[in-house]
Each structure stands twice: as structure tokens, then as C-alpha cells.
Structure 1
Amino acid sequence: MRIKITEVKVVKNFHDPQVVASYDQHIVKLIPGYTLIHAQIAAILQHYLPENARVLIIGCGTGYELCYLTQQHPTWSFTALDLSKTMLEAAQKHLSKNNQIEWIQGDIHELSSRQPYDAVLSILVTHFIATSEKLDFFQSIAQHLTATGVFINVDITQPEHIDDLAILQSVCQYTGLTAAQSQIMCQRLQQDFYLVNPQQNIAWLQQAGFAQVKSFWQMLQYQGLMAFPNQIG
């Protein structure tokens, strides 16, 4: 089954070199617990993946995950996808001496005939995908996993109450955003992203064919899930 994501919302110009150049410094202020998320991802993959694992990273950005995973696991191989040529070029610059990575500009539909992966990562990606296409996105990911593979998804979910946004705004100011930047962030969350409630993401993953879905992290509206094609012990 070949699934192509036809609607992806882009609220920042990730083709703009200036936006890409400041991305790494800005994201740690924008996403509370950003480094902790990645520490947990590294631990999960270390636990579940084989020695010669194949890993697909959807929306690799500037290569944050790739930098620490390639250093920790020199026997793993990676496929890095991103829609933005500028983002891919930034990641390739950071990892110019690394030969573990296959770089592809495009979406997951580019991989229809590939060998399945031991892990697929989608970190802060799915809120850009139209609500009507999220299930197709998860189904496509399930098709690209081995029977013993793991899918890791981190995303921002729909706030349940306006107070949730006020609290998130305060946290982001604590992590380094200005008051004006945090206000813009809250406006964008309500206007520019395709957000759904946490239970809906879990339901879609189950409908997509994942036998087991587990939460591994929650920070206000940010949710980390790991999903498995088969039940694990």
C-alpha cells in the first residue's frame, strides 16, 4: 500500500537558511524537556534494537537524533527523511564524516519498496500533518516496521483548557523564551497546527495495526508514545 501525505502544514519556512540556522538554539527553549525526551529515546532504542539495527527518522531536521545515535551505535544504519532541502543540508553538514546515513528529501511514501526498519522515529512531526491524514501516516509507518520493531512518536496534543496554554507559556519562559515569543507560540498552537487529544493518537495507532501502545513521557501538552506491531513482554 503506497500512502502519500498530501497536506502538510508549514508554519515556519524551513527552507529559509536563517530559520534553519537558529533552529537548534530555539527548539530547546520552545519544547520543555527537549534534551530529556532524546535521552529517553536513546534508552528505549538501546533496550529494544538489535546490534545491526536499521532506523528510519521522519523529519530529521538538522540531525539532532542522528548526532547522538550514530555516535552511540556505529553498527546501526539510518535513513533520514525531511521535506526541506535546507534542513537536510544542515544535517549533512553536522554529520559530514558519517557513512551510516542515507539521506532522502521527501516523505515516507518515497520508501514503498524498502526493507523494513527495526525502529521508526517521528519526533515533533505529526502535528504538521492534516487530521484527516494522520491515520494513513501511522498505517504507512506500521508497514515499514519489522515484526519486532518499535515506533516512537513525540508530538504536541490539543490543550483541554485555556489554563493549559497559560501554564505552558510560563514553562517556556522559564526555559528561555521571551514573553512575546511564548505568546506567539500559544497563538500558533491554536491556529497553525493540526492538534488532537492524546487519546485520539493512541486510538489511531491501534487502528493502524499496532498491537501495543505505551506512553513513555508526558510534559503538559507534549506526549511521547512507543508503539509495537506485536505485544511485548
Structure 2
Amino acid sequence: MKHDDHLPDDAVAPDNPFVKHFSDPEAVSNYAEGPRRVVPGLEALHRMTAILLAERVPADARVLVLGAGGGMELQVLAQAHPGWTFVGVDPAAAMLRLAERTIGPDMARVDLIEGYIDDAPPGPFDAAVCLLTLHFLDAAERERTVGEIHRRLRPGAPFVAAHLSFPQGAERELWLDRHVAYPVAMGADPEQMRGAREAVATRLATFSPGQDEAILRAGGFPEVSLFFAAFAWRGWIANA
């Protein structure tokens, strides 16, 4: 389940509105263009993730990907490292079907599971990835999820996380403006992006980079380093 900034008006429903959104056929069919338009440097983020994991994992690494719907990062990781195998977890079945189509022939090395972190195998995994996903979780559930990822990793295994993370004080409104200004500059409809801004401001759990790093450490990762910053997005490499 990934962030594409097109949350419908009924996404405030309590029965997991984000899964509902990412189960919508139109949202799924248009998904591929969303992250590329909204996240500056998305392709570079995927490539850097592959490089960072490769620093510490064996040639036959087993990698856990949480929030695997769509399959974009799985495709890049699988193509970059033919010896790796993957378990991808996502709660939206429609997004997992899209992942299958995106990954294509490399699906022979990928197991996809419909669910959340608790539905992932116990491991141990050689690495884990969670991109454009953790901002859907509040602080307590985010820390718990990070802890469950950590519990499934071998000692010293790398974990890459990237999601919305920007100052939450007096600068918050400015960063929200910047967040939507980028896709508008890339050709997105300004009115649609105004709605997206409201969705991010009121429906997602966003924290400052410092708070996000503290959550990663509280989840069991003592070594946390920032490697990616692009407007309102941040990415970290952490080691179990």
C-alpha cells in the first residue's frame, strides 16, 4: 500500500480507508504514475536502496518488503540482484496483483502475501525494505511495526525505510505547500493537489525527521543514518 496523494472523500471511514482506496480499480490502474510524480527522485531512491542493502547481504539474500503493492521497488531490486529472493507483504489484494504484473518474469523469486507485518513469515531475513508506507501508521503502531520488522531480521541486517517526514512546528504549513508544489510543477492538476494537501495534513501520521529516527531506534535499530531527502520525503538506512 503506497502513497500516491489521491485519497477519496470517503477515505476517512474507520474500516482501513487506505486499503479501501488502494483496492479501487481506477486508483490501481493509475498507480504507476502517482509515486513518480509525487516523490522527487523516486527512481534514484529505488537504486540507492538496492546499493545500501547490497553492502551487507549475501548474494542469495532473502529480503522482506513491507508495503509491496505495485511492485516498483521489488522490480528494481530483483533486476539488480538476480540471486536475491523476496517476500512482499501488502494489505491490498489489487495492489499485489499489480505487483505481479510489474515484476513480470522475476515473480519466480517473489512470494506475495496479503496482510500486514504480523502476516509476514518469522524469518530470519537478510534485509528489509519499507518505502512510502510508514506514514499510514500512527506513532505507536509505527514503532510496533518497526519492532516486528527488526524481530524478523538477522543480527546486523540492513533495513531501508522512506516516507513522508518533515518539520512539524511553525514550518509545517510551508513544507506541506512544498510537498504539493512539486507534482504541480510536474504537470499535476493544481485543484487535485490542493485536495491532496488536505489529505496529507489531516489523514496521515507525519512526524519530524528527528521523531522518525527516534521511532526507528525505539523499534530496535541502534544505527540509523539519513541517506535520502527530497522536499517532504526522507529515507534512512538502519542496521539491526
TM-score exceeds 0.5: yes
- Structure 2 residue aligned with 1:165, among 176, 181, 192? 176
Q: Which of residues 173, 197, 202 is equivalent to 1:186? A: 197
Partner of 2:24: 16
Cα distance, 1:12 vs structure 2: 6.3
Q: Does 1:30 align with 2:38?
A: yes
Q: Which secondary structure state, in structure 2, belongs to the residue aligned with residue 213 of structure 1?
A: strand
1:110 aligns with 2:119: yes
Q: Where does residue 52 of structure 2 map in the other structure? A: 44
Q: Secondary structure at the match of 2:79?
A: helix
Structure 1 Cα separation of the partners of residues 69 and 209 of structure 2: 24
| Paired residue secondary structure (2:161) | strand
Q: Secondary structure at the match of 1:78?
A: strand
Change beyond 3 A, Cα 1:16–1:9 = closer
- Three-state SS of the structure 1 residue aligned to 2:196 is helix
RMSD over equivalenced CA pairs, Å:
1.9
Counterpart of 1:59 in structure 2 is 67
Q: Is the 8 A contact 1:142 1:209 kept in 2?
A: yes
Query: CA 1:226/1:133 → structure 2, altered by over 3 Å: closer, same or farther?
Result: same
Preserved CA contact (<8 Å) 2:89 2:120: no
Q: Paired residue for 1:101?
A: 110
Distance 1:22 1:97 in 2: 22
CA–CA separation in structure 1 for the residues paired with 2:136 and 2:180: 20
1:116-131 matches, cutoff 5 A:
116-131=124-139
1:209 aligns with: 220
Which residues in structure 2 correspond to 1:137-176 (within 5 Å)?
Answer: 137-159=145-167, 160-176=171-187
Distance in 2 of aligned mates of 1:9 and 1:141: 23
Q: 1:212, 1:227 within 8 Å by CA — same for their partners in 2? A: yes
Identity among equivalent pairs (%): 27
> If the length of structure 1 is used for normalisation, what is the TM-score?
0.89
Match in the other structure for 1:3 = none
Q: Alignment partner for residue 132 of structure 1, among 140, 143, 146?
A: 140
* Deviation, structure 1 residue 167: 2.5
Structure 1, residues 140-196: CA drift from partner, whole Å, max 9, x if none? Answer: 111011112111100102443322222233222122322112212211111110111
Query: Between Structure 1 and Structure 2, how many residues are aligned?
Result: 223
The answer as to whether partners of 1:154 and 1:222 remain within 8 angstroms in 2 is yes
